[in-house]
Amino acid sequence: MKAIVIGANGYIARHLVKALKENRGEVLVCSNRAESIDSHPDYLQVDVTDPRSVDQLDFDADAVFVFAGLTGTAAGFNKYDDYICVNQIGLLNILDALKKKNPKIRVVFPSSRLVYKGQKDVALKEDAEKEFKTIYALTKYAGEETLQMYHNAFGLNYTIYRICVPYGNLLGGSYSYGTLGFMLGKAQKGESITLFGEGSQKRTVTHVGDICEGILKTSLLSQTENGVFNIGGETLSLLDAATAVAKKYGVGVEFKPWNPLDLSIESGDTIFDSTKLDALLGSRQYEFYSWLEQV
């Protein structure tokens, strides 16, 4: 595969570049920072918020992985202009360049569990009810809708992957991203892991290696063209995960009352039904508890 990865200094994108190169892909690595975190020689600084910066790319590739974007939940309320500029206008700048330079390229876009309305103990299919409690969630779904618009208007093709809770690291160290990263970081410092409420919320957790393998195996298939796919994994409650991490490091799990803002944006259970993508993939390589033993 000949690929362009935009936002390549981010957590999942760094692993994606690694996987592409291990599969002998030809990769142009792009991000807004002056240098590549992983010292890739084939690196280009690109600011997606600047159309002139995006325009330096010729987009001569099979796929462009658009992983540039701001993540987070409550932070978007204080930096809404940044979220709109990077996550929405940045994507529009890329699509505007693509329709002129290479409308045959496949656009691969990561979306989020936070576009769903959480439902207790219900596995959510891709067409499940949507709900947007944060600026970040809104920008991710706006990105999905924008891709469909550009397909309808200009024939651009895309594949969207919704990711729930990623974890793990194949780039050295024991870093884990987001929710599980918070737990791991606290425990490794000898601190108790704190949970809001009872920690009963359930999530689908997926190792970053399985996320990247799933994306690379399916992103150019005809079956995924112009489709949206949940990336599957294992279902754990936050308490399950916290208890396992705490036990490994000999720390406690503490509970604290919800503060009003965090409670207002809490999604509840987000469990993925990944039947559509699993039919193209088969089994996954990683299992959470086995991974934790090796950390």
Residues 157-191 have pLDDT tens digits of 999 999 999 999 998 765 677 899 999 999 999 99
Boundaries of CATH 3.90.25.10 in the chain? 167-204+234-271+285-294
Nearest one of 263, 201, 270, 235 to 73, comparing CA atoms: 263
For the whole model, what pTM was predicted? 0.96
pLDDT confidence of residue 72: 86
Mean pLDDT rounded to a whole number for the chain: 95
pLDDT confidence of residue 174: 58
pLDDT of 250 over the 70 cut: yes
Q: Are 48 and 57 in contact (CB under 8 A)?
A: no
Average pLDDT over residues 86-112: 97
Boundaries of CATH 3.40.50.720 in the chain? 2-165+207-230
Distance between CA 97 and CA 119 in Å, rounded?
Answer: 39
Residue type, 131: E
Buried b (16+ CB within 10 A) or exposed e, 44-74: bebbbeeeebbeebebebbbbbbbbbbbebe
- The torsion angle over the Cα atoms of residues 77, 75, 230 and 159, rounded to 10 degrees, is 80
Average pLDDT over residues 134-155: 98
* Residue 150 CA: distances (Å) to CA of 49, 107, 203, 222: 18, 11, 32, 18
In CATH, what number does 167-204+234-271+285-294 get? 3.90.25.10
Three-state helix/strand/coil letters over 242-264? HHHHHHHHCCCEEEECCCHHHHH
In CATH, what number does 2-165+207-230 get? 3.40.50.720
pLDDT confidence of residue 172: 76
CA 133 to chain centre: 18
**C-alpha atoms less than 13 angstroms from C-alpha of 247 in its C-beta half-sphere:** 9
pLDDT confidence of residue 178: 86
Nearest one of 88, 104, 79, 84 to 2, comparing CA atoms: 104
pLDDT band at 295 (very low <50, low <70, confident <90, very high): confident
